[in-house]
Amino acid sequence: MTTSMPSPTAGQPVRASGGGLPGDVVAEWIKLWSVKSTWWCLLGGAGLMLVTTPIIGATMANNKEKGTTAPVGDVAVSTVYVAQFALIALAMLMITAEYASGSMHTTLQSVPRRGRLLAAKTAVAGTVSLLAGIVFGLIGVGVSAMSLGDKAEAAGGDALGSALRIGVYLALVSVLTIAVAVAVRSAAGTLTIVFVGLTVLPVVLQASDIDPLVKLAERMPNSAGTVFMNADTTPYGAGTGFLLLVLWAFGALALGFLAFRKRDA
Answer whether residue 12 is part of any domain. Answer: no
pLDDT > 50? residue 190: yes
Say how many domains are in the chain: 1
Answer whether residue 9 is part of any domain. Answer: no
Q: pLDDT tens-digit profile of 132-146?
A: 999 999 998 888 878
Answer for the pair 74, 161: CB distance below 8 angstroms, yes or no: no
Determine the residue type at 250.
F
Mean pLDDT of all residues belonging to the chain? 87
Distances from the Cα of 250 to the Cαs of 35, 63, 143, 177, 178, in angstroms?
A: 27, 39, 33, 11, 10
CA distance 20 to 250: 22
Q: pLDDT tens-digit profile of 246-255?
A: 999 999 999 9
Answer whether residue 15 is part of any domain. Answer: no
Give the per-residue pLDDT at 154.
Answer: 61
Give the per-residue pLDDT at 237.
Answer: 94
Q: Is the pTM of this model over 0.75?
A: yes
Give the per-residue pLDDT at 157.
Answer: 57
Question: How would DSSP label each residue in 137-156?
Answer: HHHHHHHHHHHHGGGEE--H
Cβ count near 111 (within 10 Å): 21
Answer whether residue 1 is part of any domain. Answer: no
Answer for the pair 129, 87: CB distance below 8 angstroms, yes or no: yes
Least confident of 24-28, 65-69, 87-91: 65-69
Answer whether residue 3 is part of any domain. Answer: no
Q: Which residue range forms the structural domain that includes residue 90?
A: 21-262
Answer whether residue 96 is part of any domain. Answer: yes
Answer whether residue 45 is part of any domain. Answer: yes
Residue 25 CB-half CA count within 13 A: 11
CA distance 172 to 57: 26
More confident residue, 203 or 66: 203
